[in-house]
Amino acid sequence: MCIQDCSESFSLDEFNEERQTAKVAVDAAGIALTDLLEELALHREGVEVLNEVRKVYAPLVESVRQEFNNIGDANIIPKEVK
């Protein structure tokens, strides 16, 4: 998304649609990470990789999930709707 997109006003319906799309993407990232960790745990040689993946990506997924939740908690309403 570019700065110009952010400055354009849009309706609450558009905002909610974009928020729902983002929620689906955040949830999918969490599921993909879980699936990857489960797959790595099945193989003896995957345990070392599993630990590295968990250290690197789990905090990132959780951070994105938390940021997304903060958007919903902030009661952000587009200018056009206020």
Element (H, E) at 6: helix 3-7
20-30: average pLDDT:
87
pLDDT at 3 over 80: no
Which residue is associated with the tokens 């689906």?
Answer: 24
Amino acid at 80: E
> pLDDT digit string (tens) for 37-64?
888 888 877 888 888 888 888 888 888 8
pTM value?
0.58
pLDDT at 5: 58
DSSP per-residue codes, 16-80: HHHHHHHHHHHHHHHHHHHHHHHHHHTSTTHHHHHHHHHHHHHHHHHHHHHHHHHHHHTT---TT
- Average pLDDT over all residues of the chain: 76
